Amino acid sequence: MSRIVASRTCYPPHYYDQDQLIAAFRDVWGQRHFNVDRLEQFHRNVMVGGRHLALPLEKYAALKGFGDSNAAWLDAAVDLAENTVQSLLDSVDARPEEIQLLVSTTVTGIAVPSLEARLMNRIAFQTDTRRMPLFGLGCLGGAAGISRAAEYLRGHPDHAAILIALEFCSLTLQREDLSIANIVSSGLFGDGAAAVLLAGEKHRLYNSQGPAILDNASIFFPNTERVMGWDMVDTGFKVVLDSTVPEFAREHLRPGISAFLARHELTVADIGEWVAHPGGPKVIDAMEDGLEIGKGTLDLSRESLQKVGNLSSVSVLNILEETMQRKAHQAGDYGVLLAMGPAFCAEAILYRW
């Protein structure tokens, strides 16, 4: 067994409200889009109030292709990842040498050596620290990263692990793509990073107040590759985002979650707390409807979406942090952390306070 000790979220310093961003998109696409008012409607419908960006808004026009965008991603990513992980360690008075595994996840940039390796040159982790870079999981990455770390800690109960998730979605925007998927994405996704510290049951940090991870599950929906993901094109990451995502959440999520909980003789009704990746407003509504957990159960997901947008793999970790800090918990309470992402698939984690 392992325990979630702490979660911390950090953002790049460049924040813009949705009105500022809509004005910028009008300047870029206004001469080419057949209905610029429709563009604004798409951006309003996602219920995002503002977003952090990796770069100042005026610098995006100078990015001429994937090479420029990825170089900008790497320059900003290492600094933000370092700040996030250091903040996490400081928050629980943990030392880098107490960490035996670093997991990183991203789907908005490519780095070789990978992100967690570059962190080891910034923060004094031991040179024998194990590394696990995860790529391609998208919005699923935060939940899957916790799962993979927890699985490692079951076999190494005297170890501790850190997951770092970092997404600069703004640097994937395809300015020549006027598809609905790209326009919706341009109004929905934001930038940020989050880090989570987990400890095995024989590690000193296990004696924290965080929830213990009991089990995790992966749920795969066959032949759904075109529901969500990237097409790799000469200009970089071109979004694949099908309108059926809310339908999948409403119709297909509950059977897998119910089967997962049944392994522990639990039902959906036994779960008092849900930490869910927000997706978008329709996805949040669909999860509440499909799981039959009651309107308003996922209000922290709605709040995160409104404040900073969909942060891909980072969002569920941000909501985890807010849940740990703001909600009252009783010993023995059950919770589920949940995210969906490319494949199409879901990852669920059962925990108990």
In angstroms and rounded to an integer, the radius of gyration of the C-alpha atoms of the chain is: 20
144, 178, 207: which is the final residue of a domain? 207
Mean pLDDT of 143-172: 98
Q: Which residues contact 333 (CB under 8 A, 6 or more apart)?
A: 272, 273, 352, 353
In the chain, the percentage of residues whose pLDDT exceeds 90 is 88
CATH of the domain at 269: 3.40.47.10
Q: Which residues contact 243 (CB under 8 A, 6 or more apart)?
A: none
Mean pLDDT of 53-61: 96
User: Could you report the per-residue pLDDT of 102-132, keeping only the tens digit for each?
Assistant: 999 999 999 999 999 999 999 999 999 999 9
207, 236, 258: which is the final residue of a domain? 207
163, 187, 207: which is the final residue of a domain? 207
31 & 178 share domain: yes
184 & 261 share domain: no
Classify strands 101-106 and 160-168 as parallel, antiparallel or unpaired: parallel
9 & 52 share domain: yes
For residue 310, what is the DSSP state? B
295 & 202 share domain: no
User: Could you report the per-residue pLDDT of 61-102, keeping only the tens digit for each?
Assistant: 999 999 999 999 999 999 999 999 999 999 999 999 999 999
- How would DSSP label each residue in 114-170? -HHHHHTTTS---TT-EEEEEES-GGGHHHHHHHHHHHHHHH-TT-EEEEEEEEEGG
Q: What CA–CA distance (Å, rounded) separates 85 from 123?
A: 9
96: tokens are: 């880098």
Mean pLDDT of 187-202: 97
196 & 216 share domain: no
277 & 141 share domain: no
Q: What CA–CA distance (Å, rounded) separates 180 from 46?
A: 13
187 & 229 share domain: no
What are the φ/ψ torsions at residue 331 (nearest 5 degrees)?
Answer: -55, 130
Mean pLDDT of 318-325: 97
Q: How confident is the model at residue 34 (pLDDT cuts 50, 70, 90)?
A: low
Place of tokens 């529901």: 227
Sign of the alpha-carbon dihedral angle for 255, 257, 262, 268: negative
Cis-peptide, bond into residue 344, ω within 30° of zero: yes
Which structural domain, as residue segments, surrounds residue 278?
212-352
How many domains are there within the chain?
2
The CA-atom distances, in angstroms, between 165 and each of 65, 78, 120, 149 are: 24, 11, 15, 13
User: Would you name the residues annotated as active-site residues?
Assistant: 139
| Strand stretches in the chain, DSSP E | 2-10, 14-17, 50-53, 101-106, 130-135, 160-168, 191-200, 212-220, 228-233, 236-241, 273-276, 334-341, 345-352
Q: Which residues of 24-39 are buried (b: 16+ CB within 10 A; e: fewer)?
A: bbbeebeeeeeeeeeb
278 & 346 share domain: yes
179 & 271 share domain: no
Classify strands 212-220 and 345-352 as parallel, antiparallel or unpaired: antiparallel
How many beta carbons lie within 10 A of that of residue 89, not counting itself?
20
In the chain, the percentage of residues whose pLDDT exceeds 70 is 99
Lowest mean pLDDT among 38-42, 48-52, 205-209: 38-42
189 & 87 share domain: yes
Classify strands 334-341 and 273-276 as parallel, antiparallel or unpaired: parallel
Which pTM does this prediction carry? 0.95
What are the φ/ψ torsions at residue 277 (nearest 5 degrees)?
Answer: -60, 135
Question: Looking at residue 104, what is its pLDDT?
Answer: 98
**What is the CB-side half-sphere exposure of residue 46 using CA atoms within 13 A?**
29
Residues linked to residue 200 through DSSP beta bridges, in sequence order: 2
* 180: exposed, middle or buried (Cβ count in 10 Å: 0-12, 13-18, 19+): exposed
161 & 280 share domain: no
Lowest mean pLDDT among 135-139, 326-330, 336-340: 326-330
Question: Looking at residue 37, what is its pLDDT?
Answer: 79
347: tokens are: 């990852």
176 & 307 share domain: no
